[in-house]
Amino acid sequence: MNIYSSKYTKYYPAIPIALLIVSILMLPHISYSTELQGGVDISLITNSKVDIPLLSSELATKLNIPPPSITGSGNGLDITLPNNESLVKANSYLQSIYQYYSNYTSLLVNQSTLQSVLAKNPNNSTAKAALINTSILINKTEAEIISSFKSEIESLKPFIGNVTFNATDVGQVPQIAQSQYSNASKVFEDKLLSAIKSYVNVSSYSFEQITPTLGKYFLSQVKSVLLASFILIVIIALIIFRTPVPAFTVVFGSINDIMIALLAMILLKIPLSLESLGGLLMLIGFSMDTGALTAVRIVKRREGSIEERANSALKTGITMTSSAIVTFTILFFISIFTYAPTYYDIAGVVLFGLLGDIATTWLGSAPILVEYKRRRK
């Protein structure tokens, strides 16, 4: 039985394309891990029995926040909370303070260089004008530093209370601003931990706080890296296959697999994180294996008919994908029974990506290549 001998072969690609369209439509629903969007991640080991929904709502009431997302199995819990708004604001003021301060020191250096130039040639009018300009900028920057500092302290009020600072030497501001921020973060962490500890016996924990700026940066880097990878793949595939259609099916195969995996992530509520990113990258490897196999066998070989070659490629390819599916199904179920969210994320992503790959390669790429080869004859 050769599915490629049927007259409906050219309609097969409708299925993977339909999946692609669904994923594109659902894409806005994707969630991000704390590393990528900022937030607070508390992982802990406990030996008490925990009712997760109950814990979530108790923490929500006690801390006056929306119910945090909690996952766990075995004796571990993973609690994710959004960053505290005031801390986020304070952090952005802190970053501005640093920015202004580095301008400030450069301006001071300029000022003194100009002053010494004027000391040697008092009639140098350009230097005079520049000096006046610089002095104005210095005053302006000082004012900006002080006002950012005031705003930062204001934002930190919920944590450090009402603190006032006397007219401080502007040079000291960055250090004081930083230490107040660190104090406030510590207060925040202690508050969260003690709330958690009143419900759960915690034997050890890790606390990670990512500010949105860092997360946004990671995310943009992730996107650029993926884009760069695909561009490179297209170039190499064009060099190897010389004609655009096979190169296109190889690349399209990978992209489609990733989109289907993203769809699965949305449905399974797996967030986009560094681990799931690892899974997506793995998918690139697997999908190119099947993609290259299909393209080479159908386009470059000559034995037997086109359909026969396609069918034999299908048999080989499905064996390849099945063995990977076996591996990742095992990993997926093991990760559910033991506390290994990393493996759960990776396995979930790859498993569904592979299932999608079967559709993409054998209902999408292969029929396209078969038709292409037929037309070339």
* 301 near other proteins, rule: CB under 8 A: yes
Site for other proteins contains 369 (CB under 8 A): no
Per CB under 8 A, contacts with other proteins among 164-183 are: 171, 174, 178, 182
Of the two residues 63 and 108, which places its CB atom closer to other proteins in the complex? 108
Among 87, 266, 277, 370, binds other proteins (CB under 8 A): 277
Among the listed residues 6, 48, 139, 203, the single contact to other proteins using CB under 8 A: 203
Contact 78, 40 (CB under 8 A): no
Instruction: Label residue 163 left, alpha or beta by phi (over 0 means left) and psi (-120 to 50 means alpha).
Output: beta
Q: How far is the CB of 269 from other proteins (least distance, A)?
A: 20
Choose which of 17, 160, 187, 292 interacts with other proteins (CB under 8 A).
292
Please state, in angstroms and rounded to a whole number, the distance separating the CA atoms of residues 335 and 265: 16
Which of the ranges 14-22, 191-199, 235-243, 355-363 carries the binding residues for other proteins, by CB under 8 A? 235-243
- Determine phi and psi for 181, rounding to 5 degrees: -65, -45
The only residue of 18, 25, 132, 232 in contact with other proteins, by rule CB under 8 A: 232
Token pair, residue 231, equals 């561009």
Determine if 113 is a binding residue for other proteins (CB under 8 A).
yes
Q: Near other proteins by CB under 8 A, which window of 128-136, 143-151, 313-321, 362-370?
A: 313-321
Binds other proteins by CB under 8 A, chosen from 19, 55, 153, 250 = 250
Q: Cβ 71 to other proteins, closest distance in Å?
A: 14
Count of CA atoms in the C-beta half-sphere (13 A) of 341: 18
Report the residue from 79, 131, 173, 346 that binds other proteins according to the rule CB under 8 A.
Answer: 346
By C-beta, is 65 or 234 nearer to other proteins?
Answer: 234
Whether the CB-CB separation of 155 and 171 falls below 8 Å is answered with no
Contact between residue 368 and residue 11 where contact means Cβ atoms under 8 Å apart = no
Other beta carbons within 10 Å of 50: 14
Binding residues among 21-80 for other proteins as defined by CB under 8 A = 43, 45, 74, 76
Of the candidate residues 102, 194, 243, 305, the single one contacting other proteins (CB under 8 A): 102
What is the contact mask toward other proteins in residues 114 to 133, using x (rule: CB under 8 A)? -xx--x--------------
CA distance 218 to 355: 29
Contact status, residue 10 vs residue 190, Cβ threshold 8 Å: no
Provide the minimum distance between the beta carbon of 284 and other proteins in the complex, in angstroms, as a whole number.
5
Which of 189, 191, 238, 255 is close enough to bind other proteins by CB under 8 A?
189
Instruction: Name the burial class of residue 194, with classes exposed (0-12), middle (13-18) and buried (19+) by CB atoms within 10 angstroms of its CB.
Output: exposed
> 316 in helix, strand or coil?
helix
| β-bridge mates for residue 130, sequence order | none
Binding status of residue 284 toward other proteins by CB under 8 A:
yes
* Residue-wise burial string across 202-220, b where 16 or more C-beta atoms lie within 10 A, e elsewhere: beebebebbbbeebeebbe
The count of residues interacting with other proteins (CB under 8 A) is 85
Question: Out of 32, 98, 165, 199, which residue is the one contacting other proteins (CB under 8 A)?
Answer: 98
- Please spell the DSSP secondary structure of 185-211, one letter per residue: HHHHHHHHHHHHHTTS-EEEEEEEEE-
Residue of 71, 73, 80, 111 that binds other proteins (CB under 8 A): 111
The CB density around residue 188, as the number of other CB atoms within 10 Å, is 21
